[in-house]
Amino acid sequence: METRPFKGGLLIRFDQIVDRNSAELWRDRYLLLPLSELEPLRENEVYIHELVGMRVVLESGEELGVVSEVYELPQGLALDVARGGGGSVVLSFSHDVVKQVRARDRVIEVEPPAGMLD
C-alpha cells in the first residue's frame, strides 16, 4: 500500500487493486479500523462518533443543547444541536465556531455567529 496527498485528501494505492476500473469501485469509500488499532488521541481530541451526546455550551457557560447528529459535508463537519426547549441548530465544527472541546467533561464550547441563535 502507498499513500500520498492529493487535492485535500489522500490518494491510496493498494497492491490488490491493480487497474483503474477496479479502483473506481472503491472511490469515496471510508476505511475503517477497530478502535484497538488506532493511535491514542492527544489531549482533548475526540473521534467523530464521540461528538454525539456531548453537551454544547456558549463561551459564557450558558447551556445550548446536546449534539444529536454529526454531518460530514463537503465544507466540513456540522453539528446538529438539539436545544432544550425544542428545535435544533446546526453549527459548523470549525475553529470559527468551536472554541474548545473538553473531551473528559464531554463538553463543546462554542461561539456561534451573531444572530444565529435568534
Q: What is the CATH number of the domain that holds 72?
A: 2.30.30.240
- Is the pLDDT at 43 greater than 80? The verdict is no
CA separation for the pair 46, 106 (Å, rounded): 10
Q: Are residues 63 and 30 in the same domain?
A: no
Q: Are residues 27 and 54 in the same domain?
A: no
**Number of domains comprising the chain:** 2
> Cell 488499532 maps to which residue?
37
Question: Looking only at Cα atoms, what is the longest distance across the chain?
Answer: 55
Asked, for residue 116, whether it belongs to a domain, the answer is no
> What is the pTM (predicted TM-score) of this model?
0.74
- Contacting residues for 14 by C-beta, under 8 A, at least 6 apart: 1
Q: Are residues 67 and 99 in the same domain?
A: yes
Confidence of residue 79 (pLDDT cuts 50, 70, 90): very high
Q: Are residues 26 and 76 in the same domain?
A: no
Q: Are residues 65 and 103 in the same domain?
A: yes
Q: Distance of alpha carbon 28 from its chain centroid, rounded?
A: 17
- Is the pLDDT at 116 greater than 90? The verdict is no
Asked, for residue 64, whether it belongs to a domain, the answer is yes
Asked, for residue 58, whether it belongs to a domain, the answer is yes
Residue range(s) defining the domain that contains residue 81: 48-110
